[in-house]
């Protein structure tokens, strides 16, 4: 799958937060995609129409930016372009929670990627969320079915184990390294990596492949860099180097088929 991404070099339009813009752009260039950050209401419709995927990330949201996200989202929907929503910090403030829910009401989202605290809050499942980091000790695997039942949008809930869910399947992926939690933007970059893969193939397996690819890159990065600063750079280097064969060989993925009624 990563080889198809590198071949296609998908244009990934981002409306994203101010903290992670540079890191995200570098991460996408490193893996072989083409990022563009375009936020102005006056241009997002045009940009989303030509892009191969759209990322809506509410990390440093403003009222005007949410308007731009809805304009871009509707344009992407008209073009059949996949959209990933990163609900950064949902649950921490009511503005974040209400804005993310408004986006979900007005735009068809192909995948929500967030930590367990964010996804639970978005679904209205009670949890304690502070800032933009996940709630402590929350089991994403247990949360996934309940949250999917409520939100009815494919989910990637990340943490020590990542869980992806749609109508048909639930998948867990246990690649990655805790060092990812020491670098700001590691979740945001993953959302953009998923969007790059969905630009090539709009399936849950494609998103799972993106999560595995990213986790393997992080594992290799920690072999070279034991501290956060070096790790951030090593991660970019590994996103450039990990191959499709590496993913096939090292992905730790388990699948569970979902029959009728299993979500309940």
Ligand X SMILES: Nc1ncnc2c1ncn2[C@@H]1O[C@H](COP(=O)(O)OP(=O)(O)O)[C@@H](O)[C@H]1O
When binding is defined by CB under 6 A, the residue of 35, 73, 91, 159 that contacts ligand X is: 159
Which contacts (CB < 8 Å, 24+ apart) does range 129-135 have? 129/89, 129/90, 129/91, 129/92, 130/92, 131/89, 131/92, 132/59, 132/88, 132/89, 132/92, 133/181, 134/158, 134/159, 135/91
Q: Please classify residue 172 by burial: count the beta carbons closer than 10 Å to its beta carbon, then call 0-12 exposed, 13-18 middle and 19+ buried.
A: buried
How far apart are alpha carbons 207 and 168 in whole angstroms? Answer: 14
How far apart are alpha carbons 255 and 111 in whole angstroms? Answer: 18
Residue 24 partner contact from ligand TZP, Mg ion, ligand X, none using kind-dependent CB cut-offs of 5 to 8 Å: none
When binding is defined by CB under 6 A, the residue of 133, 169, 201, 246 that contacts ligand X is: 133
Give the CA distances from residue 262 to residues 18, 112, 168, in Å, rounded to whole numbers and listed in that order.
40, 20, 10
List the one residue out of 173, 258, 255 whose CA is nearest residue 218: 173
Q: Is 259 annotated as a binding residue?
A: no
219: contact with ligand X by CB under 6 A: no
Closest distance of CB 113 from Mg ion, Å? 8
Q: Is 158 annotated as a binding residue?
A: yes
Structure tokens at 172: 């867990």
159: contact with Mg ion by CB under 5 A: no
Pick out residues in 5-24 that bind ligand TZP (CB under 6 A).
17, 19-20
Closest distance of CB 227 from ligand X, Å? 16
Among 1-9, 68-76, 177-185, 251-259, which window interacts with ligand X (CB under 6 A)? 177-185
Residue 160 partner contact from ligand TZP, ligand X, Mg ion, none using kind-dependent CB cut-offs of 5 to 8 Å: ligand X
Going by the DSSP 8-state scheme, the letter that residue 157 receives in this structure is E
Whether the CB-CB separation of 24 and 16 falls below 8 Å is answered with yes
How far apart are alpha carbons 191 and 210 in whole angstroms? Answer: 9
Helix or strand run (H / E) with residue 25 = helix 21-31
When binding is defined by CB under 6 A, the residue of 176, 225, 231, 242 that contacts ligand X is: 176
Measured from the CB atom, the residue of 44 and 204 that comes closer to ligand X is: 204
Structure tokens at 220: 């290799």
112: contact with ligand TZP by CB under 6 A: no
Ranked by CB distance to ligand TZP, the top (closest) residue is 59
Closest distance of CB 127 from ligand X, Å? 13
103: contact with Mg ion by CB under 5 A: no
187: contact with ligand TZP by CB under 6 A: yes
When binding is defined by CB under 5 A, the residue of 27, 159, 185, 187 that contacts Mg ion is: 187
97: contact with ligand TZP by CB under 6 A: no
**Where do contacts with ligand TZP occur on this chain (CB under 6 A)?**
17, 19-20, 59-60, 88, 132, 184-188
């Amino acid at each position: 799958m990563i080889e198809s991404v590198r071949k296609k070099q998908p244009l990934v339009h981002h409306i994203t937060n101010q903290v992670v813009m540079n890191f995200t752009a570098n991460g996408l260039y490193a893996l072989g995609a083409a990022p563009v950050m375009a936020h102005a209401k006056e241009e997002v419709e045009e940009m989303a129409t030509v892009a191969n995927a759209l990322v809506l990330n509410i990390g440093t949201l403003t009222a005007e930016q949410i308007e731009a996200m809805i304009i871009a989202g509707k344009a992407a929907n008209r073009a059949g372009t996949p959209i990933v929503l990163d609900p950064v910090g949902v649950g921490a403030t009511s503005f974040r929670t209400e804005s993310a829910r408004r986006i979900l009401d007005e735009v068809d989202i192909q995948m929500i990627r967030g930590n367990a605290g964010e996804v639970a809050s978005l679904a209205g499942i009670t949890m304690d969320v502070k800032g933009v980091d996940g709630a402590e000790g929350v089991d994403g695997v247990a949360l996934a079915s309940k949250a999917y039942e409520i939100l009815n949008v494919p989910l990637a809930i990340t943490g020590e184990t990542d869980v992806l869910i749609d109508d048909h399947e639930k998948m867990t992926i246990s690649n990655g390294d805790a060092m990812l939690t020491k670098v700001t933007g590691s979740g945001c970059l993953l959302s953009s990596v998923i969007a790059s893969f969905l630009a090539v193939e709009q399936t849950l397996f494609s998103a799972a492949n993106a999560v595995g690819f990213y986790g393997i890159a992080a594992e290799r990065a920690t072999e070279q860099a034991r501290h956060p600063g070096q790790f951030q750079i090593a991660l970019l280097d590994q996103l450039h180097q990990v191959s499709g064969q590496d993913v096939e060989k090292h992905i730790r993925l388990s699948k569970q088929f979902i029959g009728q009624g299993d979500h309940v």
